[in-house]
């Protein structure tokens, strides 16, 4: 069959509150043209993020009831540990409340002034944790990643010759680990090939540097490997996932993505000594080692989520849904980052509204337009997010992130219809003026007024 259906039935529903365009005009203006300020109940389709916004399965909810809330040695912890060990093969498995908590512990241990952390692209919390430790974060993604229209099967790959040149230039002693983010969120949700991961591992072996993964979307990345990498089509996703983790000495994971939970994270380590030091930091700020800042029920939900996320029917549906959205937006005339990533589609707002200069935030104008037209909430990744140093970023993007197992195809068709209507009105779209610009992470709280 050509039709890929949502591989689940819906047992519990949550109402979406319908709004009219007039109501949305009012809501948007009261939110001062920043959809982060909009109350979620006023959003019809929420594509702000795929992080922690997914739906849990009946078995995960059953796990919630089974949660053992003992302070130490809870059954739920051992179930979580077994599930993660079966998936990754790691010996030391630390639960944390979310990805950035794992990052904070890791970089407090290995970072520090004078140190350098290479990555394909650091996610913003990863970069912030590296820099907070005093270390320098360096992005070494392949050059193809910066060409939005270019089709490449693994645009998240690390530039291995540049990695080796960096190690030679700076010296291996300054590089406590090399990290690769799968899939590469900051680079458009693009995957990394197994061949590339093996090549990074080989360089790390040559210079005796540990190799770590930022593995939030490990299953989506493994699915792309199965689909696109020569020789991988007949392997199971679980087998590919296992090989990916076996290549690494450690990993940070936000389980809010491929853990299929609303809260949770993991820190994986192979080195016993490092794991003991990480345990000490975990106890200091997260909680005891068998719950790490989570409730027993959260560990149960994660244990089950890590089983479900490698189911191939789920992944076929997941990746196809995102691709479907991308294909349709392209057919309307939007330029998107190609090929479609695993968890999100990124529209090039600069291409859509060339009449709006970066200083008037074309991405934010498009974000506001999508909300006004269809109540669809998206996120600007352009001059609002990155322009506070006075320099416009290379691209003015709008991200449509798809939550896991939340929306059906007709919801996505509705998003496409809203986007089509807006595209027809793009010549009349106007830019914005920022009326309040906080010094850090300003996209969350900045306010705007529309230029007439």
Ligand X SMILES: Cc1ncc(COP(=O)(O)O)c(C=O)c1O
Residue with smaller CB distance to ligand X, 99 or 176: 99
User: Which one among 46, 214, 279, 298 touches ligand X, defined by CB under 6 A?
Assistant: 214
The packing angle between helices 296-308 and 58-66, to 10°, is: 150
| Comparison of 24 and 104: residue with beta carbon closer to ligand X | 104
Buried b / exposed e over 241-277, threshold 16 CB at 10 Å, is bbbbbebbbbbbbbbbbbbbbbbbbbbbbbeeebbeb
CB of 390 to ligand X, least distance (A): 26
| Least separation in angstroms between CB 357 and ligand X | 29
| Helix ranges restricted to H, 231-311 | 237-246, 272-285, 296-308
- Restricting to residues 102-141, which ones interact with ligand X according to CB under 6 A? 123, 125-126
Query: Phi/psi of residue 131, each to 5°?
Result: -70, -35
Q: Give me the helices (H) in 345-408, please.
A: 349-352, 362-374, 383-386
Residue 405: Cβ within 10 Å count = 20
The DSSP output letter for 8 is S
Q: Which of 254, 304, 321, 378 binds ligand X (CB under 6 A)?
A: 254
Smallest gap from Cβ 63 to ligand X, in A, equals: 20
Task: Reduce the DSSP state of residue 373 to 3 states and report it.
Answer: helix
Closer residue to ligand X in complex, CB, 38/251: 251
Q: How far is the CB of 81 from ligand X (least distance, A)?
A: 20
* Residue 49 C-beta: closest distance to ligand X, Å: 7
Q: Cα angle vertex 312, ends 307, 315, to 5°? A: 90
Q: Would you count residue 346 as binding ligand X (CB under 6 A)?
A: no
Among 31, 216, 260, 319, binds ligand X (CB under 6 A): 216
Using the rule CB under 6 A, is 256 a contact of ligand X? Answer: yes
User: What's the min distance (Å) between Cβ of 215 and ligand X?
Assistant: 9
**Coil, helix or strand for 253?**
strand
What DSSP assignment string belongs to 426-443?
A: GGG---EEEEE--SSSGG
* Nearest by Cα to 52 from 299, 306, 262, 342: 262
For the chain, give the longest Cα–Cα distance.
Answer: 63
- Please provide the size of the chain in residues: 452
CB of 391 to ligand X, least distance (A): 24
Binder among 19, 34, 51, 119 for ligand X (CB under 6 A): 51
Residue, CB closest to ligand X:
99
- Contact pattern from residue 83 through residue 102 relative to ligand X, giving x for each residue in contact according to CB under 6 A and a dash for the rest: ---------------xxx--
CB of 131 to ligand X, least distance (A): 14
For ligand X, the binding residue among 185, 190, 321, 378 (CB under 6 A) is 185
Residue 1 CB, nearest distance to ligand X (Å)?
33
Q: For residues 123 and 212, which CB has a smaller minimum distance to ligand X in the complex? A: 123
Residue with tokens 């409730």: 295
Considering only residues 380 through 439, tell me which ones interact with ligand X, judged by CB under 6 A: none
- Which one of 156, 176, 191, 265 is in contact with ligand X (CB under 6 A)? 265
Q: What is the rounded CA–CA span in Å between residue 417 and residue 30?
A: 25
Interface residue with ligand X, options 181, 193, 322, 378 (CB under 6 A)? 181
83 or 121, CB closer to ligand X?
A: 121
C-beta of 88 vs 98, nearer to ligand X: 98
Shortest separation between residue 342's beta carbon and ligand X, angstroms: 11
Cβ neighbors of 305 (< 8 A, separation 6 or more) are 56, 60, 255, 258, 259, 260, 261
Applying CB under 6 A, the site for ligand X has a residue count of 14
Q: 192 vs 237, which CB is nearer to ligand X?
A: 192
Cα torsion through 354, 360, 362, 367, rounded to 10: -150
Q: Which residues contribute to the site for ligand X (CB under 6 A)?
A: 51, 98-100, 123, 125-126, 181, 185, 214, 216, 254, 256, 265
């Amino acid at each position: 069959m050509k039709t890929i259906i949502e591989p689940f039935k819906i047992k519990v529903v949550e109402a979406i509150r319908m709004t009219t365009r007039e109501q949305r005009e009012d809501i948007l203006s009261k939110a001062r043209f920043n959809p982060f300020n909009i109350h979620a109940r006023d959003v019809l389709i929420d594509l702000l993020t795929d992080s922690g916004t997914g739906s849990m399965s009946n078995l995960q909810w059953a796990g919630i009831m089974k949660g053992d809330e003992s302070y130490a040695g809870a059954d739920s912890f051992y179930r979580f540990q077994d599930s993660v060990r079966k998936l990754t093969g790691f010996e030391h498995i630390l639960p944390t409340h979310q990805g950035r908590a794992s990052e904070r512990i890791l970089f407090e241990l290995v970072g520090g002034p004078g140190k350098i952390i290479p990555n394909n692209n650091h996610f913003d919390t990863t970069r912030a944790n590296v820099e907070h430790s005093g270390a320098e974060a360096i992005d070494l993604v392949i050059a193809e990643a910066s060409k939005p229209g270019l089709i490449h099967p693994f645009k998240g790959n690390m530039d291995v010759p540049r990695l080796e040149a960096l190690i030679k230039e700076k010296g291996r002693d300054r590089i406590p680990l090399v990290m690769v983010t799968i899939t590469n969120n900051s680079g458009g949700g693009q995957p990394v090939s197994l061949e590339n991961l093996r090549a990074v591992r080989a360089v790390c072996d040559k210079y005796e540097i540990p190799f770590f993964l930022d593995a939030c979307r490990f299953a989506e990345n493994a699915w792309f490997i199965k689909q696109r990498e020569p020789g991988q089509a007949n392997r199971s996703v679980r087998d590919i996932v296992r090989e990916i983790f076996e290549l690494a000495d450690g990993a940070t994971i936000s389980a809010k993505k491929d853990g299929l939970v609303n809260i949770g994270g993991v820190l994986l380590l192979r080195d016993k000594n490092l794991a003991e030091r990480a345990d000490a930091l975990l106890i200091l700020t997260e909680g005891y080692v068998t719950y790490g800042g989570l409730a027993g029920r959260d560990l149960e939900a994660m244990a089950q989520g890590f089983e479900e996320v490698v189911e191939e029917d789920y992944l076929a549906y997941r990746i196809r849904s995102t691709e479907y959205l991308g294909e349709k937006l392209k057919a309307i005339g939007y330029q998107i980052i190609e090929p479609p990533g695993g968890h999100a589609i990124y529209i090039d707002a600069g291409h859509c509204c060339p009449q709006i200069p970066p200083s008037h935030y074309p991405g934010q104008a498009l974000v506001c337009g999508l909300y006004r037209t269809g109540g669809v909430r998206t996120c600007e990744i352009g001059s609002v997010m990155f322009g506070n140093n006075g320099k416009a970023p290379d691209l003015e993007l709008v991200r449509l992130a798809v939550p896991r197992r939340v929306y059906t195809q007709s919801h996505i068709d509705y998003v496409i219809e809203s986007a089509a209507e807006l595209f027809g009105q793009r010549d009349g779209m106007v830019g914005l003026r920022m009326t309040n610009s906080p010094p850090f992470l300003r996209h969350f709280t900045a306010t705007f007024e529309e230029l007439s």
